[in-house]
Amino acid sequence: MWLAEVKAKAGRRNQILFGSESLLLVELGELIAGANRRALILWALELAEETVRELESRYPGYHRPRAAVEAARAWAAWEIKMPLAKRAILDCHAMSKELAAPADIARCHAVGQACSVVHTEGHAMGYPIYELTAIVLELGLENCLEAVEARVRDYEQRLRLWTEREQTDCRDWADFLR
């Protein structure tokens, strides 16, 4: 079971408690592998936006996660070039060094990973890995089971929806995403 994997990683004091090979994430991994890049971007940025709102409520003076999401959206629409978006994403990751709460540190990395999906689909699993880690860190190993499993089902359902919606989405995309 996935919880045993997480407990083992926590016991080794790993900062990241899930991996792309986690039993819990097999179906999500298959959905990610079958989704097109634009659907993955829309999915990842929607998830990142939620986390940004959560971080903003805790750290009202910190704007780097929001800036990273906005830059990733602009990059995907070819309104800015990659170096500007990359800088905003790296700044979001760097914010984690200023935080004390391990769950919020993981959330900063989750946002950065989600924004990086514009660059390559290989980052798509990064958001769940970091956000699920945040959930476990916040709720504790003994109380996280339901929340983690519900969140994975939510990821899967949303990705299925974005896979359908993307086909009729009329937004402007950068040439490299067409």
Dump pLDDT digits (tens) for 1-36.
Answer: 899 999 999 999 999 999 999 999 999 999 999 999
Separation of alpha carbons 164 and 155, rounded Å? 14
Dump pLDDT digits (tens) for 82-99.
Answer: 999 999 999 999 999 999
Degrees, nearest 5: CA angle 174-114-24: 130
| Averaged pLDDT for residues 144-148 | 98
Take residue 26 and report the two structure tokens written for it. 């097999």
pLDDT at position 34:
96
Query: In angstroms, what is the C-alpha Rg of the chain?
Result: 16
Q: What is the DSSP letter of 139?
A: H
pLDDT higher than 90, residue 148: yes
What's at 59, amino acid-wise? Answer: Y
Mean of per-residue pLDDT scores for the chain: 96
| Averaged pLDDT for residues 129-137 | 98
Query: Phi/psi class of residue 171: alpha, beta or left (left: φ > 0; alpha: ψ in -120 to 50)?
Result: beta
Separation of alpha carbons 151 and 55, rounded Å? 18
pLDDT at position 171:
87
pLDDT higher than 90, residue 153: yes
| Averaged pLDDT for residues 153-170 | 93
